[in-house]
Amino acid sequence: MSTDHSFLCEAIAEAEQGFAEGGVPIGAVLVEEGRVVARGHNRRVQQGDPIAHGEMDCLRQAGRRASYRGTTLYTTLSPCMMCAGTIVQFKIPRVVIGENRSFGGNEEFLRARGVEVLVLDDPRCLELMLRFQREKPAVWAEDIAE
């Protein structure tokens, strides 16, 4: 298993935890020099916080940092515009995405701003999101502001 797939597994574990808590199953981990420095999952439902997306929760857990250079953000789902904007703002150079079929995010926005983007098209990520979308369509619609 490649390093990218290994770290994506960590993000999937976060997504599964969020799903088990009754929330949106999107997880993320921030990796630097081959180790996870922060992890998080979507907590919008659990905390009643409209911006507690998986990527945002992960970056909150990372705390203050002088720089994100040399980091990679692993996320189970293609980032929404809010999360993509934060990635660009913090100059995170690389993002690895589990899947982008259940929600088309902002990969081109990221690439146009110099971020390296890799989509792994992981079936576990897709299956978890499709299950969530089937079981909780109103929560999903709220999450993507529809």
Active site amino acids: 55
Q: Which two tokens stand for residue 129?
A: 């999101």
Angle in degrees, 0-180, between the axes of helices 81-89 and 54-62, rounded to the nearest 10? 30
SS (H, E, C) 19-75: HHCCCCCCEEEEEECCEEEEEEECCHHHHCCCCCCHHHHHHHHHCCCCCCCCEEEEE
Burial class (CB in 10 A: 0-12, 13-18, 19+), 144: exposed
Cβ–Cβ < 8 Å for 72, 31: yes
